[in-house]
Each structure stands twice: as C-alpha cells, then as structure tokens.
Structure 1
Amino acid sequence: MGERKVLNKYFPPDFDPAWVPKGKRSKVMNIRMMLPFSVQCKTCGEFMYAGKKFNSRCEIVEGDTYLGLRKYRFYVKCSVCCAEIAFKTDPQKADYELEAGATRNFESWKLNRKQEEEAAKAREDEDKDSIKALENRALDSKIEMDILDALDEIKAINQRHRKVDPLHSLLLRDKERAAAAAAAAG
C-alpha cells in the first residue's frame, strides 16, 4: 500500500530543472491587511478607522523607488458602497500616501511632527544669521540656567526629606501620647 503523506517525489538522475518552464504568476498579490490610518470614503461618506481588516490587492509601483526601496500600492474596497480606495507606501516619511477614493482623517501627531520640523528649520535659518545666532545662544543659556535652578530646588527638597527620620518621628509621637495620657489621668 502506498504512503499516504508523500513528502518527497522521485526525480530521475537525468532531471534538469532548467527544462521546466517558469510558471506564470500574477503581479498583483491578495493580502489580508488592516487599514493603517483612518479615512472617509468620498463616495458614501463612511468612516473607516485604522485597524479595520480588509482583503486588499497589492502591487509594486513601477518606476517609483526611494533609496532603492520599492513602493507598494494597495487597493481596498469601502465596506458600505464597495468603492475602491487606493494608497501607497511612503518610505521617506515611514507612512502611507492616500491616492484615490477617500480622504485621510486629521491626525494630531502628524501636525505635531510638522510643527517640530518647521521649528527646527526656522532655527537652522536663524543660526545662519550671526545676530540671531547670538540671541539664540543667549536664550539657550537662560533656559539652561532655569533648568539648573529647578534641579537645585528639587535637590534641596529631597535633602530636607532625607533629614526626616521615621523612627525618630515615631518616638516623638509615642512621647506625646504618653504625656497626653498622663495629663488626662492626672
């Protein structure tokens, strides 16, 4: 009787894998994935939140790379109206870029990151101007002095707390209770 679970196939000694034609494979992959950001469908207005699972189609974006990294495009369908929503990876920003079918909802962390980048760029531009650079250094030294003063205050408070001995406090409390009991009795 033949083996039920065949793990190996017989290959004749004269077998050459180059003779086997390469199988045709679709360039589009079907992937079960979660939506990486919250969107609103342009067709029906449905909100779809980050983490909602979809069966998506994934393809490699031709001719679009970043530092040798390939970009991928994903197609998902709206859960209400089945309109197609397309977005692609953006390795430069470590994020995704919405292309069609929906609008991306506001994300506060994105705004904070943008403001930090703008502040850093403005600071860099100011450093090129010698007067502004001098003002910035004075401001930095003032901030550093304020931080050191606050640190000294914290150290002083900690030093005061270190001087308090809990055992000594218990002994004083016991003496006060004994004195109060003696005064009440006598």
Structure 2
Amino acid sequence: MQKKRQKRIGTKYFEKKYSGIRFALPFTIGCITCKEYISKGYKFNAVKEKVVGETYLGVEIYRFHIKCTNCRCEMTLKTDPKNGEYIVEFGCIKVNEIFEKTKKNLEFEKTYKEKEEREDPTKILENQIKEAFQERSGIYQNDDITREIKISQKTNIDELIEFSKNKEKENELKKEAFKNKMIDFLKNTKK
C-alpha cells in the first residue's frame, strides 16, 4: 500500500518581518557608547523593520537597525513621515542635538550668573568697581586721541617731509657704521 502525501500548509512561506537593505545615513550621528562620530552619507547594511501599530495617515513607519563602525553597538533610526525626516531612537544621538544641548547649557549658565549677580551684594559691588574703572580708562584713552589730533593739526606737510628725510639719513649712517664694524671684526679674526 502506498501512503498518501500530505500537503504542508503554510509552514514554508511566511512573510519576512525583517529585510536587509543598503542604508545611507541622512545626517551625522554620534555613538553613545564609544563617542564615535559617523558622518552623513555613510552606507550601512541595515535591517529594515515595519513598526507594528504605528502609521501616519496610512503611511507605514519603518525602523532601521544599524551597527556602530567602531564598537558594533546597535543603533536604531525610525522614519517620521509627518516631518519628512528620521528620528533617532536608540544607541546614538544627532550631532545637531549635541550642539543644541550645549547652547541650552550655556544659556542656563548665563541666566544663573545674571541672577547671582543681581542678588549677591558682593557681586553688585564688584560690578560697580569694574564699571568705574572702565569709565576712567575710557576717559584716558579719549585724552590720548585728542592729543594726537591736536599734534597732527599743528604739523605741516613740509615738517613731515623733513622728518622722513632725517630718518632716512639716520638709517643710512647706521648701516654704514654696522658695515665698518663688521669689516674691522673680520680683519681682526683673520690675524
């Protein structure tokens, strides 16, 4: 007797949840674990996955799994069809976000210092002393400038020409004196 072959039902042909693709980075990122920067346009063999249960106006959202080039740590990016860009999910950070965080920290420090200077009486006194010193130094600088203007107004063009000729003569005399000294030195060393 022959046995009947039974047909396998749906065991071989499941739809893949994951597919390997070639993925280029849309922006520069930094790995959180090893602090390595990976520049925009770097190509990866990424794993593309459909995000289950998330859509935007009927558009499917995808997640891309990539690995750091230095430490092989997994990083994930997700599509954002609402804004037309990618969202960093895990393992990395956008370089722009790093700069924004540092800007926020600097702004916080400035506001903290200003608040401290307004409330602390010693800081108020120090600031008043600095302002007074700056005013005095500004007055002295203005006096120097007005003196130079007065001197330049008194001098004539003929005096300036004569002064420059005298400087040229002095320079020529210095050169000749230097040459004579060198000649005397060389004569003494040969003997």
TM-score (norm 2): 0.44
Larger radius of gyration: 2
Structure with the higher fraction of residues in helix conformation: 2
TM-score by structure 1 length? Answer: 0.45
